[in-house]
Amino acid sequence: MRTLLKYILGSIAAYLAFFLIRQLFIFTYLFIELNIQRLETPNLPIPTNKVLMSKYLRESELVFRRRWLFPFKNYDLTLNRQPAEQVIVLVHGYTRSQTDWIWFRKQLKTNIPIYTANLSPKYGNIHEMALSLATKIEAIKDETGCNNIIIIAHSMGGIVAHHYAHNLDTANRVSNIVAIGTPWYGTKLAFMEDSLNAQAIQPQSIFLNELRQKIFNSPIKHYSIASRFDNMIYPWSSALLDKDSEQKLILEDVSHLAMLFSNEVVEQINTWLSAILLN
């Protein structure tokens, strides 16, 4: 029994060590990128080591949170359930789940229904993930009768949302997409993963080039939120679509997952929602 216990504890310790080292590598990459930016922009403030460590620990906790929130992965997180013309759908990012939105969804100041989606397969291609979003949205349509959908998406979820809107939403229900930390021009860190969806978000990706062209020619209103301190999107400006009509918010010191727990992000999205719902 003691041998088994030691094995289990050893396995847990090894996993945690690997996890923390991986996160440390990512933040080291961020520190290098920030210093490169400083060479180009001398007055750009660089976080102190203390700030970097604090944000590293916070982001690591948020990444790991998925594990202990696993029981809620398929829990019904819907708010304001009722028949409605407009609804909000929250779409998570790479390898994550709807549990990322547990806090965020309650901060939205609206009475319209708010739904969360789980994308699958986790490591499938973008089209497969968009099909799972389509299935969720059809279920929402059957339940509410909605014809106007506002999508708020994080990270890769923004790419999945736009792929759905431009290729699968034949009824043109999607009217607005808010993308938080979405790598429209790819991210250098995509090389760390060998999955089909990670390959799609590599810099110079043909898939992303084609998707951006569809977005540029689309009547769907687009909103972007990016952070100079994003530890997953390199360069950070990749999270800005640069569409002429794009509305955007640029944060200075918020990491990738922490954007979903940022009061500044929530305040800006609530402002956008107020304007959207008035139209």
Q: What is the mean pLDDT of each run of 10 residues along the chain (279 residues)?
A: 64 63 67 64 67 76 76 89 96 94 96 96 95 97 96 98 96 96 92 86 93 94 93 91 80 93 97 88
In three-state secondary structure terms, 88 is strand
Given a contact cutoff of 8 angstroms between Cβ atoms, the answer to whether 188 and 203 are in contact is yes
Name the helix (H) or strand (E) containing 91.
strand 86-91
Quote the tokens at residue 62.
């948020």
- Residues in the chain, total: 279
Q: Which ranges constitute the DSSP H helices of the chain?
A: 2-40, 49-68, 126-144, 156-167, 196-200, 206-216, 263-278
pLDDT of residue 62: 81
Radius of gyration of the chain (CA): 19
pLDDT of residue 69: 78
pLDDT of residue 178: 97
Percentage of the chain modeled with pLDDT above 70: 81
Superfamily classification of domain 78-278? Alpha/Beta hydrolase fold, catalytic domain (3.40.50.1820)
Given a contact cutoff of 8 angstroms between Cβ atoms, the answer to whether 236 and 230 are in contact is yes
Largest CA distance in the chain: 65
In three-state secondary structure terms, 116 is strand
pLDDT of residue 155: 97
Given a contact cutoff of 8 angstroms between Cβ atoms, the answer to whether 124 and 148 are in contact is no
Alpha-carbon dihedral sign for residues 176, 179, 184, 186: negative
In three-state secondary structure terms, 150 is strand
- pTM score, whole prediction: 0.87
